[in-house]
Structure 1
Amino acid sequence: MFISSKMRTIIKYSLIGGALGSTALSLQRNQYEWDSIGIVRLSRAAITVFKCGVIYKRDLYGKGFDKKSKEYKELKSVCHKRCAEKLLDLCCANRGVYIKVGQHIAALDYLLPSEYVQTMKVLHSNAPTTDIKDIYKVIKEDLKKDPFEIFESIEPEPLGTASLAQVHKCKLKDGTVLAVKVQHPYVQGNSRIDMKTMEYLVKIMSWIFPEFKFQWLVDESKKNIPQELNFAQEGKNAEKIAEMFKNVEWLKIPAVRWDLSTPRVLTMDFLEGGQVNDLKYIKEHDIDPYEISSKLGKLYSEMIFIHGFVHSDPHPGNILVKKNPKGACDIILLDHGLYATLKDEFRINYANLWLSILDRDRKGMRQFSGNLGISGDIYGLFACMVTGRTWDTIVKGIDKESFSKGEKDFVQQHFTGLLPQISTVLENVNRQMLLILKTNDLMRGIEHTLRTSARMGAFKVMSQCCVHSIYRERYRKCQSKVGKLKITLAEIWALLKIRLYYTFLNLSLFIRN
């Protein structure tokens, strides 16, 4: 009655076609575990989509409210919440890739309805765990030995559980304490089928709701998840970033034990610390939240604008903090499975975009947004998505206007009303930008938790990194010695202006307060 015949037909044939095609393969790959085979997982997903469709069609669109009315907005929020909870249940039941996509949704703080984002955030710290016996089984299959021939002990309770794996503290026979990351047993077998299923479901939703354009999310997941499932690649990423920042004393990257690692098992040094969002731990250990925020800002600015190699999953479970013997704060960076490798052209355009935003240069914003794939007047929305701030704040100067909870709530409410336009941005923007948007939102979430969002130091460091990035590229392309000298002097002058500007700004705030 409430669901159109078109919708029933789409779901029916998608379910039948996908299920028959995947069942035999899924059974074999998952060692005949019926709960993990394609038809069961596809059925769960299709039923969830059907139920969500019913909720929106019957309980929201079927009520006949004016879309601008208060009643409609309140009812839409209720429907979002109900559907988000059903989606969370689906992610927890199917696990693996579904958890990873759910975590991605939780990271899009300013791009999706807050009901979905807040509901999915539980997946960052409370993903479903795998029984320790299955963990032993994976270790034995991959390391070709019984786990206790290698390890003196393995703590049965995981240190952390993620979408694709979980980490256990362990001890070797010689007493060395390590951390072993073990992939959930059936993730590899299910990943391709799950991605195909999600692609079907996204197409179904886009047919039912034309404003629903999230093929970009499927495309990104299809590209990124195979990388994250290869722990050998994760180990290489960890070593690469450790080498890049080898002169940064406060950054700690766990060293990889290659003799005890495979594509499904990654053994590393065990490093202790508190999660970056654990305010109780930070207070008890007398760690300055502004120091944490400043160091993270410096680290990620250099990754993005200088090196073009960016750790792209900085949710709180992957960043630990610890006070070192000198009284300063160390940053411990974990989970190196997902990195964005930025091309020079993209990196320079993005640096120029940020400088134009900080300078309130609308012409520059339009130009460099265009270079990143966003043309026309929609560049203003893109600037808001990049910064997580309102257009009014950008025009006034984001380094002058402190970021309040009121503005955060306004941004979320305003952005969710622009879903079709946001979908257009995400469909058209340079693909490298998608991981950067996710990274930006996760970093903003950490700053919001630490209550350090108003700091100007982050903008100063970012401005300096943008200038370094732009002038180094010009220097690299310049052929003449005179030209290189001019570029060097221009860079020095640009950095001096930044230093003077922020000194003056700090002085003005000090006098005002």
Structure 2
Amino acid sequence: MLFTQMEACASSSRLTLTPLRQSPACRGCLLNVSRRTFATSPLKPKPIQGRSRRWIRRTGIVILIGGGVYAYDKQFNASALSRSLRTGWIGLVCTLDYKINFAPSKAHEIDNLHQRVADRLRWVIDTNQGLYLKLGQALGLQAALLPKPYREAFGHVFDKAPSVPYAEVQGVFRRDLDVDPEDIFVSFSHEPLASASIAQVHKAVLRTPQGEELVVAVKVQKPAIEKQMEWDLFSYRSLMWVCEKIFDMPMYFVAKYVSVQMKNETNFQHEAGNARRCAEFLSQTPELKDDVYVPRVFGESEGCRESQRIMVTEWIDGCRLNDQAALERMGLKARDVMDLVISTWGAMTFSWGFLHCDPHPGNILIRPHPKKKGKPQIVIIDHGLYIESTTEFREDYCNLWRSLFMLDIPTIERIARKWGIALDPNMFASAILLRPFQVKKKTKEELAQEPEKTAYEQQLELKSRFKTMLENEQLIPRELIFIARCQRMMQANNQLLGSPSNRINLTAKWASTGYTRSLNAPRTIARVGLSTWLSDRFRMIILRMTLGFSDLIFWLDRLRQYLLPKSKRKGWEDQLQAQFESIAKEEFGIELEDDVFLG
């Protein structure tokens, strides 16, 4: 009927295309057809087409705005926002991966889980660069206590960082000092001689107001760091907070302290002050003042305007601490070098309370002593990261080191309670030394009674023990974070040179010396009283006698190693490492490797 009416209308209108000339009957027919069609048809093409257009338009606007924000962030904000979003995404993916797949039913897949997460973390560090390399180094220094994939992922972060072109260096000079490098220096190398995560070093010649020409090292901060720093540190703090909430582990309590230290490291005026202060402490330490050198920092009096992103220091020729071939060419003994390095950091930790926190081989240069033939002089560079400890903490830490060495368990437990750490002497000693260490050793019967655990159960127990140990994180001294880092790196430095020094004895000696003779607050009779002063001296004598016996064992072992075939010789640190690995395997189910510390 519908089609018949339409045909009739079409016939009566003689196929005209102008609807205004249609008869009233035809218009009525069309109206009826229209009403019936819209009443019975399930399709509404015009509204759907409208929604599609709106969706396309909104999508285009979002893409346009997103592209604009990305372009602005990349061009004017050093990709700071993009880096943070990248970090947040990787953090979310890793967190979900662990929450879903770290379960007893998937214990056989835990190694694959660690590998996936480690690969993602390595990717975000390599992609973001800058301060992320510093954060990666901090993770790398703890990686010996993490599963193997993390040790491999973070082992590369100690390598040389990429440099920026000379045009960007010019930009830093123009913005900070309103001059080009050539306006200040007689000559300035366009190519950097060294590049690190936040800065690079150029060699230049400076003419002083007195007309003297001096070869200097010019440290220039990479321009992106200034824009990225706050975003990067915010991302770091946010991730630590989220991880603490999700995994129920005390982690955020260190984030603020680490952020402040890293922020100070990017201020070169702060670094210049650290270098001058270190030189002053050295001048007051008779055992070190002639054998350790800090390069002179040039300021206004030498015609160098100071800046937070530019620092000029004396140029020093020397080899890296771990360059054994260069040491041999200079006729220097590895033992003399390491004894001096360990003693210097021992004085900083236990006597000064002012510690250089980056004793990487590249930051410790070695040269022949200018006055003592055949002896080394060490040159300390890169003074950006220092921590200052209170007198109370320094004395407690000295006492703790002496007690650990002499296995004075009551003193260890007293200091642990003071620092809000649960009384597990083995775990406490392990955290202080950053090594699984047994104060109370389990008997063979106790070990035999313990059931064999799966990888999942071992890691769950380790988490539980760390959580229990950190009973009150608000009381834990934040200085321990960086002090432990230095101890680990110093051990690795000694190991690199074949373990020529008895590191533990030298460190314990400085703990004893620092306790009784501090540059900041010496324990004089007037301060502590006669009884305490005599007790301190008596304990120092007992410790020195114990250390003398330990030294004898060390040299007897050196002699025994010398008599063995070269292929079977092991250094003192290597033997200690083997013992620690055995303890870690028995006590914690951890397989230790130290390659990550040998950068």
Structure 2 residue 332 is matched with structure 1 residue 287: yes
Q: 2:357 aligns with which of 287, 312, 321?
A: 312
1:375 aligns to 2:412 (yes or no): no
Q: 1:469 aligns with which of 511, 514, 517?
A: 514
Q: Give CA deviations for 1:362-395 in whole Å, capped at 9, x if unaligned.
A: 1111111222331322x42121122244334x56
Q: 1:324 to 1:376 in 2, by over 3 A?
A: same
Q: Please give the alpha-carbon distance, in whole angstroms, between the structure 1 residues aligned to 2:114 and 2:346.
A: 35
- Distance change (3 Å), C-alpha of 1:495 and 1:54: closer
Match of 1:41 in 2: 83
Larger CA deviation: 270-279 vs 239-248:
270-279
- CA distance in 2 between partners of 1:416 and 1:163 (Å): 35
Aligned mates of 1:85, 1:434 — CA distance in 2: 25
| CA drift at 1:479 | 3.9
Contact 2:254–2:478 at 8 Å: present in 1 too? Answer: no
Verify the 8 A CA contact 2:270 2:384 in the aligned structure 1: yes
Counterpart in the other structure of 1:138: 172
Query: Which residue type is aligned with residue 382 of structure 1?
Result: F
Aligned to 1:252: 293
Partner Cα distance (2:86, 2:420) in 1: 37
Aligned twin of 1:86 = 120
- How far is the alpha carbon of 1:97 from its aligned partner? 2.4
Bigger CA drift: 169-178 or 224-233?
Answer: 169-178
Q: Which residue of 2 aligns with 1:439?
A: 486
**CA displacement at 1:424 relative to structure 2:** 6.0
| Matched letter for residue 220 of structure 1 | Y
Task: Provide Cα deviations, 1:124-161, integer angstroms capped at 9, x if missing partner.
Answer: 23223222211121022222211112223332332322
Counterpart of 2:79, as a letter, is I
Q: What letter corresponds to residue 251 of structure 2 in structure 1?
A: F
Task: Tell me how far 1:420 sits from its aligned partner.
Answer: 4.9
> Which residue in 2 is equivalent to 1:408?
none
1:162 aligns with 2:186: no
The letter for the 2-side match of 1:266 is: M
Q: Which residue of structure 1 lines up, in the alignment, with residue 432 of structure 2?
A: 386
Q: Are residues 1:422 and 2:466 paired?
A: yes
Q: Are 1:366 and 2:390 counterparts? A: no
User: Partner amino acid for 2:78?
Assistant: S
Identify the match of residue 275 of structure 2 among 219, 229, 238. Answer: 238
What is the CA deviation profile of residues 231-287 of structure 1, one whole-angstrom value per residue up to 9, with x for unaligned ones? 111101100011110252121211111132311101101112222233343344443
Q: Who is 2:23 aligned against?
A: none
CA offset at residue 288 of structure 1? 2.3
Output the CA distance in 2 between the equivalents of 1:262 and 1:52. 40
Aligned letter for 1:131?
A: P
Counterpart AA for 1:201: L
Decide whether the 8 Å contact of 2:406 with 2:543 is kept in 1: no
Name the TM-score, length of structure 2 as normaliser.
Answer: 0.68
Say if 2:524 and 2:533, in contact at 8 Å, map to a contact too.
Answer: no
**Counterparts in 2 of 1:250 and 1:182: CA distance versus 1, 3 Å:** same
Amino acid at match of 2:498: R
Asked if the contact 1:312–1:439 (Cα under 8 Å) also holds between the matched residues in 2, the reply is yes
Whichever residue aligns with residue 105 of structure 1, its letter is L
Decide which moves more: 121-130 or 438-447.
121-130
Q: Work out whether residues 364 and 380 of structure 2, in 8 Å CA contact, stay in contact via their aligned partners in 1.
A: yes
Instruction: Give the match for residue 17 of structure 1.
Output: none
In 2, the alpha carbon distance for the partners of 1:236 and 1:270 equals 18
Q: Secondary structure at the match of 2:220?
A: strand
Q: How does 1:328-367 map to 2 (within 5 A)?
A: 328-367=375-414
Q: Which amino acid aligns with 1:381?
A: M
Question: Counterpart of 1:64 in structure 2: which amino acid?
Answer: S
Name the amino acid aligned to 1:239: R
Instruction: Output the TM-score relative to the length of structure 1.
Output: 0.79
The 5 Å alignment of 1:216-231 reads: 216-231=253-268
Q: Secondary structure at the match of 1:158?
A: coil
Aligned residues: 457
CA pair 49-64 structure 1, distance change in 2 beyond 3 A: same
Distance in 1 (alpha carbons) for counterparts of 2:127 and 2:556: 57
What's 1:183 paired with?
Answer: 221
Asked if structure 1 preserves the Cα contact closer than 8 Å seen for 2:422 and 2:468, the reply is: no
Asked which structure has the greater CA Rg, the reply is 2
Shift of 1:103: 1.6
- Asked if the contact 2:426/2:436 (under 8 Å) is kept, the reply is no
Partners in 2 of 1:286 and 1:370 — Cα distance?
Answer: 49
Please tell me whether the aligned partners of residues 373 and 430 of structure 1 are also in contact (alpha carbons under 8 angstroms): no
Distance 2:460 2:161 in 1: 26
The verdict on how the C-alpha distance between 1:284 and 1:83 changes in structure 2, with shifts beyond 3 A counting, is farther
**Which amino acid in structure 1 is aligned with residue 431 of structure 2?**
M
Do 1:111 and 1:385's aligned partners in 2 also have CA atoms closer than 8 Å?
Answer: no
CA distance in 1, matches of 2:421, 2:399: 14
Percent identity of the aligned residues? Answer: 26
Q: Secondary structure at the match of 1:461?
A: helix
- Tell me the CA shift for residue 189 of structure 1: 1.9
Task: Check conservation: 2:515, 2:523, Cα contact below 8 A.
Answer: no
Partner SS state of residue 297, structure 2 = coil
Separation (CA, whole Å) in 1 of partners of 2:218 and 2:427: 43
Partner of 1:101: 135
SS in structure 1 of the partner of residue 399 of structure 2: helix
Q: How much does 1:297 deviate?
A: 1.6
> What is the rounded CA distance, in whole Å, between the counterparts of 1:119 and 1:480 in structure 2?
50
**Partners of 2:477 and 2:527 in 1: how far apart?**
33
